[in-house]
Every structure is written in C-alpha cells, then in structure tokens.
Structure 1
Amino acid sequence: MEDSVNVEKALDIIKRNILSIISSMLLVGVLATLITYFIMTPKYEAETQMLVSSPSDSVIVNFENIETNLQLIHTYRDIILSKTILEDVITNLGLSQTVEELSKQITVTNQDQSQVLSIVATDASAQQAEQISNEVAIVFKERIVEIMYVDNISIYAPADVAPGIDPVSPQPLINIAIGMVAGLILGLIWAFSKAYFDKSVKNEIDVYNVLGLPVVGSLAKFED
C-alpha cells in the first residue's frame, strides 16, 4: 500500500509540474544548441599513416624483425611527440602554437600487433590539421635516421582532407540530446524539491502521507 502511494505521489508531483519540467528540458536544450553552434569552435581531424618496416638493407622479413619493429613503435610514439620533432614542425609551418599546445593537438595510435603508426592532428582548420599531420610524419621520418640510426619508416597514406568535410566536434545532435536530458533531470529535481518543502495538503495522497489514514471520501468544491 505504502509503495503504491509513493508511486502515486511521485506521478502526481510530475503531473502538477509537467509544464515546468518540459520548459526546463526545452530551455536547456536550446541553450545547448546555442552553445554548440555559436560558442564552441569546430574541430577537424586529419590522419597520416606510416609503416614501420624492416631496415632497408634487410631483404628477408622474418618474425624477429617484425617483433623488433613492434617494440620500437612504443619508442617512436614518444619521439613523435617530443620537443625535437614538434619544434621543427612549428618552424616549418610557421605555427603560432607552443610545443606543449601542439602536442595536445596530436595523437599517435597503433593497433595491437600492427606495424602501422597513425598520426592524427586536430585543428580548427581542416587544411591546417592536414598540414600538421603530414609535416609531423615527414619530420619524424627524417629525424629518426639521426636519432636512432635506422631508416625503416615509410609514409604510405598521407593525410588528405576532402573539401567540405564535417568537423569531428562538436556533435550537435549529441550535445542537444545531453542538454535536453540534463534539463529534464533539473526539472524533476526542482519539482520534487518543491514538493518536499511544500507542507500544504492538496489532495487525498497528501492526507494519507500526513495523517497516515486512508481517505474514505471527498467533497467536491462548490462555487457560489
């Protein structure tokens, strides 16, 4: 009995405040829309793929060479994001970013047991993201010979961003959906908080909650 009353009370609170709850949901949804389209800066991605192969003087490719290359990949990731590489990239492209800022725009990924390294650059300009991604790969390929005395890097898939490509962020539909859900939650919190602090008796459910007695009847309101 008590559980059913609690459910009825919750539904009654929602019903009485439905307009406020919907308004909150729509308001936050509209706010999320405005922020997405007018405040957040679109971000574009460009990816350059490199192959870590056996040294050029090695004709026979064996499992030992492949295993060595896979171990080197972890080292290569750190070198790609190092000050040595990124300073050259900044100079070559005439970028205004610092090394630290540029490093945050670059992600180096590698699938398990794969000899392919992917350099993904993110920027507010699709063209600049492409330039950064490709330049990082070019500089790394040149400098790795000096740093580790190996020449086993080949760029087999340079970044090539198509005109009119969609930004990877922000994602309007997701942002708006999150905004509306947040608005719904805020509306419900407001409705239940209001009901919790409001001690006035409004209906039969309130009578039961206050007095602990079942309601056997009710009187209709008569207008003069």
Structure 2
Amino acid sequence: MEETISLKEIFEVIKKRILLIISLIVGAALIAAVASYFVLTPKYESSSMFVVNQKQQEDQSSEFTQSDIQANVKLINTYNVIIKSPAILEQVIDELGLNYSVGQLESSLNVSSAENSQVVTVTATNSDPALATKIANTTVQIFQQEIPDILSVDNVSILSEAEMNGNPSPVSPKPMLNIAIAIVLGGMIGVGLAFLLEYLDNTIKTEKDIEDKLGVPVLGVISHVSDDDIQVNQFQSRKQTRSRGEMHGTQEEKVN
C-alpha cells in the first residue's frame, strides 16, 4: 500500500527538527561570511577595448561595404585565439616582468565581443587592481603591434585603454551573494536531514504507532512515574494528612 504524507505531517517534522534546521542555516551563513571576508582573495577586473577595421587605402572610397564589415567580424574569432596565444602572452610576461606561466596568464584573461560587433573587449582579472590594468593594456598593445606580422593585416585600433579607479571594487568574492546562497543551501540540507532522521526513526512513540505496527487496538496506557513524582506525591499526601489531623483536633477542642 502506497504511503502518503500530509501537509500537517510535513509541518510537524519541520517543527520537531526546527533547532537542527536553524543551526545548519546559521552555520552555513557564518562559514560563507568568514570565507568571503577573511579567506577568499578579492579579485579585480580591468578592461581594454579595440576595434577591428580595414585600413583605408588611397584608391578606396571612404565608406565601408557590408562585405568588409562581415569579413572583419569573422576575423574577430581568429583574433580571440591569437590574443591568448603564447606568441602574445610571452611578450606580455616579459614586458611586465610577471612571475606567471603562459597558462596562468591565459586563465586570467577573457576576450569577448558582442554578436556582429567589430569591438573586442579584453578583460584581465587579478588580485592587484593596478596589475590587472597593466595586463589588459599591455596585452592589447602587443597584440596591435604583432598582428601585422602574424596575419599581414593592419586593421586593429585601440578604442579605449583600461583605467584604474581611485577606489576599485572587487568583482569577487561577493559576500552577500555567498551568504544568501549558503542560507538557502543550509535550509535545504536542514530540511532534508530532518526528514531523513524522521524516516530512520522507527521507535514507537504514540498509541497510533502501536496500532499501525501491531494491527491491534490499544486497551490501556500505563504512564511512566519517575522518582521525583513519587516523592512529590508522598510529600503532598503527608501534608494533606497533617492538615486533616490538625482540623480534626481543632474540631474536638471546640466540642469540648
């Protein structure tokens, strides 16, 4: 027979394990806060942009045709590979005196362009905002210098250089976002663990549990009496007996 669980039973399980759930939520939030503020290293981004455009020749008209623009857009995919190649990045490492390998520098660079756009954005990520700015600018400059020799074209122009603000803000970690995610995950884990513990708990607690497991009705219930209850009951009985004796003595004195 298929077992079902009602909404009331769900709330009962959550209510029963509410301290466990709250503890996991608070613990996850604290771990995320400590990791975001004290463990993870802040990362800064800086971007430089260049535009891909055919160099004008004296015998050509001053306007670009649609085919020229499409050709430039197709070249961008090639440029995105070249700009992150060892031919460019090794020169960037030498120029800035970086203690990086080509692979490390490549992982810190992101090259992107909007669809059907001739503008390419080179973004460098680093724990030092000033170094991120230098990496972005140097990479674009060296790429502009080397591309004529690599592809025999001269169609790259720097659109804007990376600049460092007076008070740069890190792009990661994001403490509030991390804490919010941790709270959600902590709540989900807490609720899941509460239902798991409830599922694994096969102890008998109520008369209904006995009827469900044994299939017989409950005829009576014997309450558990602790030593404290016995002592309290004895004390109350003695007190009541003493009070009755005093009342009886008083009544006899009045009769006499």
TM-score, with structure 1 as normaliser = 0.89
Shift of 1:165: 1.7
1:56 partner SS: coil
Residues 205, 186 of structure 1: alpha-carbon distance in 2 compared, 3 angstrom cutoff: farther
1:63 shift after superposition: 1.2
CA 1:207–1:159 in 2, change beyond 3 Å: closer, same or farther? farther
- Write out per-residue CA displacement over residues 148-186 of structure 1, whole angstroms, 9 at most, x where no aligned residue: 111111111111121212111111111001111121122
RMSD, aligned α-carbons? 2.5
- Which residue, out of 75, 80, 101, partners 2:78? 75
Alignment size in residue pairs: 221
In structure 2, what is the Cα distance between the partners aligned to 1:41 and 1:19?
A: 33
- Matching residue of 2:134: 131
Partner letter of residue 55 of structure 1?
K
Please, which runs of 5 or more residues in structure 1 have no aligned partner?
none
Q: Which residue of 1 aligns with 2:175?
A: 172
CA deviations over 1:93-135 (Å, ceiling 9, x no partner): 0111100110000011011111001101111111111110000
SS of match in other structure, 1:31: helix
Report the equivalent of 1:96: 99
- Matching residue of 2:30: 30
Q: CA deviation at 1:208?
A: 7.0
- Give 1:10 deviation, angstroms: 1.9
In the TM superposition, what is the alpha-carbon distance from 1:7 to its structure 2 partner?
Answer: 2.5
Quick one: higher RCO (CA 8 Å, sep 6+), 1 or 2?
A: 1
Match of 1:6?
A: 6
TM-score (norm 2): 0.78
Mark the runs of 5 or more structure 2 residues left unpaired by the alignment.
234-256
Q: Any idea what SS the aligned residue of 1:49 has?
A: strand
Deviation at 1:213, TM superposition (A): 9.0
**Residue matched to 1:200:** 203
Contact 1:41 1:170 in 2 (8 A): yes
In 1, Cα distance between equivalents of 2:82 and 2:114 = 18
Q: Distance in 1 between matches of 2:179 and 2:213?
A: 41
Larger Rg: 2
**Alpha-carbon separation, structure 1, partners of 2:172 and 2:128:** 12
Percent identical among aligned pairs is 35
SS in 2 for 1:159: coil
1:196 is displaced (CA, Å) by 1.3
